[in-house]
Structure 1
């Protein structure tokens, strides 16, 4: 394995979850600057997420249970305006849940052809 599970999580899964969160907030009618303020990120980052210039390699919507949790996070962000650390913690937990459920295994094998998802149970054992 040339690309670790942690690299996949930080470079692909987490940004994809954040992109989906931005998208859900936009679907709720929030403007880019409002989303940026709520998520403690720049308006330019929001724009890149919406244009799919960032975090677009994993389609979070295909995992219905995860997508529902992203929508719950969006509601929580709007209602409670949590700190950037609380938002980060919730997205990291969701990242680990995706790894633990094996949702990322096939993607991981695409970016690292040396990985055999049938033999590798690292994420399933560590994060389930």
Structure 2
């Protein structure tokens, strides 16, 4: 294994979740500057997420349960305006949930040919 599950989560899953969260906030009619302020990131980062320059390797919309969680979280962010640590905590939780459900296994195998998803149960055992 050349690429660990934690590396996959931090380099690919987390940015993809954040990108989808930005999309949900945009669907609510928010401007890039408003989204940036709510998520405690730069407007430039929001633009890169929306233009698929960042976090575009995993299509979160293919996981309806995760996508619904992000849609609900977007509404919560608009309503309660949580701090950056609370947003980070929630995105990490959702990242771990994706690992535990095996949603990332086939992607992991694509970026690390040494991974055999039918033999590897690391994430399922640890986070499932």
Cα displacement (A) at 1:102: 0.1
Cα displacement (A) at 1:72: 0.8
Structure 2: distance between partners of 1:118 and 1:3: 17
Residue 126 of structure 1 aligns with which residue? 126
Cα displacement (A) at 1:58: 0.2
Structure 2: distance between partners of 1:72 and 1:24: 9
Structure 1: distance between partners of 2:72 and 2:10: 22
5+ residue gaps in structure 2?
none
Structure 1: distance between partners of 2:16 and 2:27: 16
Q: Which aligned pairs between 1:11-90 and structure 2 lie closer than 5 A? A: 11-90=11-90
TM-score, normalised with respect to structure 1: 0.99
1:91 is aligned to 2:91: yes
TM-score, normalised with respect to structure 2: 0.99
* Structure 2 SS opposite 1:89: helix
* Structure 2 SS opposite 1:65: helix
Matched residue pairs, number?
128
Structure 1 runs (4+) greater than 6 angstroms displaced: none
Cα RMSD over matched residues? 0.3
5+ residue gaps in structure 1?
none
* Structure 2 SS opposite 1:66: helix
Structure 1: distance between partners of 2:24 and 2:75: 9
Structure 2: distance between partners of 1:36 and 1:123: 32
